[in-house]
Amino acid sequence: GAGVSQSPSNKVTEKGKDVELRCDPISGHTALYWYRQSLGQGLEFLIYFQGNSAPDKSGLPSDRFSAERTGGSVSTLTIQRTQQEDSAVYLCASSFATGTSPLHFGNGTRLTVT
Amino acid sequence: KNEVEQSPQNLTAQEGEFITINCSYSVGISALHWLQQHPGGGIVSLFMLSSGKKKHGRLIATINIQEKHSSLHITASHPRDSAVYICAVIYGGSQGNLIFGKGTKLSVKP
């Protein structure tokens, strides 16, 4: 596709359930990023993938959060045993690997934990 | 502790006015992004800069690395410029580890 695609666009889940959020980056972009934006809060870095290098997981808030990127393309962010404070918009972005490449954002997945 | 501070938080302008949004940061950075987020959530990258000045249409971004400050200017503002403008710095040498400001909500009235 022409842009970064995220699915689902909305997800409502019960506390304690696991959820998977998907990001399909722009073809050819080797860098992929996950961020989240909680209600009334700014954006927060979660994890960053660059090519075949080990991901930068320094932003993951707890061990309930994990992410994979298969084949250097699609990424899945998994939240286990969801909590109400996990409710947020989860945004994915991708870019070329160069230091001056702009970020291209998806439209996000709005997660609501009830 | 806010490592990236934006000002003002909210800004209302009349169509045609020149607008400046400021971003100050306290950490060493390799580059800085200006992002635009429209109602409904879509985020667009406006600029990424590590020195000097960049211009795109009516938008101008400047950065002073020594003073740890960047500005985003909008000339001849228009109601369609109404959005939240977010400054984000690349920190610690990792391209992915962005620290975001809380954003400036701009409303341009016709």
Quick: pLDDT tens for B40-72. 768 999 999 989 999 999 999 999 999 999 999
Structure tokens at B82: 């109404």
What distance in Å separates residue A38's CA from the closest CA in chain B? Answer: 11
Torsion of CA A112, B3, B8, B11, to 10 degrees: -30
pLDDT-derived band at A99 (thresholds 50, 70, 90) equals low
The C-alpha of A58 sits at a distance from chain B's nearest C-alpha, in angstroms, of 8
Interface contacts A/B by beta carbons within 8 Å: 67
pLDDT digits (tens, 9 = 90+) for A7-18: 999 999 999 999
Contact B33 A102 (CB under 8 A): yes
Smallest CA–CA distance, residue B85 to chain A, in Å, is 11
Residues 6+ apart with CB under 8 A from A8: A21, A22, A109
B45 and A56: CB-CB below 8 Å? no
Two tokens at B53? 């000045």
Q: Hey, are the CB atoms on B35 and A103 less than 8 Å from each other? A: yes
**CA dihedral for A23, A64, A90, B4, sign (positive or negative):** negative
Radius of gyration of chain B (CA): 13
Q: What confidence tens digit (pLDDT) does each residue in A11-55 have?
A: 999 999 999 999 999 999 999 999 999 987 888 989 999 888 888
Contacts of B31 in chain A (CB under 8 A): 99-100
DSSP character at residue A13: E
Per-residue tens of pLDDT for chain B, all 110 residues: 568 999 999 999 999 999 999 999 998 888 899 999 988 768 999 999 989 999 999 999 999 999 999 999 999 999 999 999 999 998 766 666 788 999 999 999 99
Q: What is the pLDDT of residue B40?
A: 75
